[in-house]
Amino acid sequence: MASVLVAKATINNISRQTWNQLPKAAGCIVIQQRDASSNVPTKLTAMKRGTGGRSSFSGVVATVFGANGFLGRYVCNKLGKIGSQVIIPYRCDANEVERLRLVGDLGQVLFFPFQLRDEESIRKTVQYSNVVINLIGREYETKNFKYSDVHVAGARRLARIAKESGVQTFVHVSHLNAKKDIQKVWKTSEFLKTKYESELAVREEFPEAIIFKPSDMFGAEDQFLNYFNYYSRWTVFGQFIPWKSGLPIWKNGEYTIKQPVYVADVAEGIIKAILNPDMAGQTIQCVGPQRYYLADIVDYVISILRREEGLVRTNRTFWIRFDILYLDLSMITCIK
């Protein structure tokens, strides 16, 4: 305000002179009074962090691998909510991850193409980050990537490069049932086996890594509850009643216990672990507050779909034995 008054007084005093006769420096008097400094910070951590929120800066520069997945979308949203800069490597079409740009403020969400087997592209995505989160996982194998390629070799490569690049915090997401001795029901789960091996690989390369082991996660577009909604899961045989469809479940789901957890709660736990230095080297199991029999969960899904009259649970063990019996009979027929 004082600068404005000085400027007005100066103009009144020199109003009788022509503007062409004024010194050129006179027009710079007020401009020089503005707050400015030549000591410009060159590091992001030296900038003002603000009071919180998406328009502030929390000091976290996180690279999130697997950000386009089910859990990844929630993690990126939580990171952007506290004012973090998020680097999102992707190997799909760029338009598929473009929606994640909205999780942070303008210029705080960056995208970078990469390949899991290309170490140079991985180094470029983590070279400026102090946090790396590995959410890469696959429920099935492809001709290009086996379980071991994604869960074990890929996780080991990410952890090693992050350690070499000076990353402070590395977060790896495994599975609750991933362990050394896996109970064999019908056949050993290769998915859980490689998930356990990924934990060992990450610990070898990055001993201070934080490992999360969530149970079945539910939420919008999940693979847990929607799994029982797929038409491909419904068979034409339902308790031997021709006009009903059946959901084949191991022993009707009466011997399987689930403790599902909400996906946003897992994402919130990851954010809190990143911000807590005491969580380095910890293994965290994430489960929901309640336990349910799988049979009750499936019956609940059937009731939500309003298919109580046309869809029932079936015992999967019978149809497996039926397939084996059919295979044996066909072999005998071939021998004849």
- Tell me the two tokens of residue 56: 């502030």
249 by DSSP, 3-state: which?
strand
- Tell me: the pLDDT tens digits for 59-69? 899 999 999 99
11 pLDDT exceeds 90?
A: no
Phi and psi torsions of 181, nearest 5°: -105, 100
Mean pLDDT of 75-94: 94
Whether 95 is covered by a domain: the verdict is yes
- The per-residue pLDDT of the chain, averaged, comes to 80
Cα-Cα end-to-end distance for the chain: 105
Among 202, 146, 149, residue whose Cα is nearest residue 174: 202
Residues 119 and 198 in one domain: yes
Positive/negative CA dihedral, 263, 268, 271, 275: negative
96 pLDDT exceeds 70?
A: yes
Whether 186 is covered by a domain: the verdict is yes
- List the CATH number of the domain containing 180: 3.40.50.720
Mean pLDDT of 116-136: 96
Q: Over pLDDT 90: what percentage of the chain?
A: 52
- Tell me: the pLDDT tens digits for 195-248? 999 999 999 999 999 999 999 999 988 989 888 877 545 655 444 444 456 777
- Tell me the two tokens of residue 116: 């899991």
13 pLDDT exceeds 90?
A: no
Whether 308 is covered by a domain: the verdict is no
Yes or no: say if 67 and 76 are a contact pair by the CB < 8 Å rule. yes
Per-residue pLDDT, 327: 40
Chain center to CA of 58: 19
User: Cα-atom radius of gyration of the chain, to the nearest Å?
Assistant: 29
Whether 6 is covered by a domain: the verdict is yes
- Tell me the two tokens of residue 11: 């103009």
Per-residue pLDDT, 326: 39
Residues 13 and 138 in one domain: no
Mean pLDDT of 269-275: 97
Residues 61 and 167 in one domain: yes
Q: What is the DSSP letter of 128?
A: T
Confidence of residue 12 (pLDDT cuts 50, 70, 90): low
Whether 96 is covered by a domain: the verdict is yes
Residues 19 and 63 in one domain: no
Higher-pLDDT residue of 275 and 326 is: 275
- Tell me: the pLDDT tens digits for 140-188? 898 999 999 999 999 999 999 999 999 999 999 999 999 888 777 767 7
Whether 154 is covered by a domain: the verdict is yes
Higher-pLDDT residue of 293 and 246 is: 293
Phi and psi torsions of 226, nearest 5°: -70, -20
Q: What's the rounded Cα separation, in Å, for the pair 324 and 9?
A: 100
Mean pLDDT of 91-99: 89
Task: Tell me which residue range forms the domain holding 124.
Answer: 51-214
- Tell me the two tokens of residue 47: 């900038």
Give the number of domains in the chain: 2
318 pLDDT exceeds 70?
A: no
Q: What's the rounded Cα separation, in Å, for the pair 116 and 159?
A: 12
Yes or no: say if 240 and 312 are a contact pair by the CB < 8 Å rule. no
Residues 29 and 78 in one domain: no
- State the CB neighbour count (10 A cutoff) for residue 197: 20
Per-residue pLDDT, 94: 86
Strands 283-286 and 210-214: parallel
Q: Over pLDDT 70: what percentage of the chain?
A: 71
Among 76, 68, 191, 84, residue whose Cα is nearest residue 136: 68
Higher-pLDDT residue of 40 and 49 is: 49
Helices 70-81, 263-275: axis angle to 10 degrees equals: 50
Whether 290 is covered by a domain: the verdict is no
Higher-pLDDT residue of 198 and 8 is: 198
